[in-house]
């Protein structure tokens, strides 16, 4: 079985969860439940650059800045 992330991909989506976590996903792969497309189709490096700008706090937003729920 071929992994959908293996091999060359021209286009990717940048997704975000309700907790403001981010995910790079190749086009043609279903968007998982609970995730929303925040930047539509584009090349991989551009989506990674956007992820660096948008996702500066790695802890889920539900935990808050101090890590407490």
What does the pLDDT read at residue 64?
Answer: 54
Residue 67 lies in a domain: no
Residue 3 has pLDDT above 80, yes or no: no
Domain count, the chain: 1
Q: What does each C-alpha distance from 13 to 6, 16, 57, 63 come to in angstroms?
A: 16, 10, 20, 26
pLDDT of 34 reads 93
Give per-residue pLDDT as tens, 13-69: 889 888 888 888 888 888 999 999 988 777 777 777 877 787 777 676 665 554 444
Within a domain: 22: yes
In-domain check, residue 2: no
Q: Is residue 6 part of a domain?
A: no
Q: HSE (CB half, 13 Å, CA atoms) of 4?
A: 10
- Would residue 30 count as lying in a domain? yes
Q: What is the model's pLDDT at position 12?
A: 83
């Amino acid at each position: 079985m071929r992994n959908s992330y293996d091999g060359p991909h021209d286009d990717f989506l940048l997704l975000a969860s309700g907790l403001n976590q981010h995910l790079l996903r190749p086009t043609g792969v279903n968007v998982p439940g609970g995730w929303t497309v925040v930047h539509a189709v584009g090349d991989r490096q551009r989506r990674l650059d956007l992820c660096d700008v948008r996702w500066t706090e790695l802890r889920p937003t539900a935990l808050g800045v101090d890590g407490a729920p």
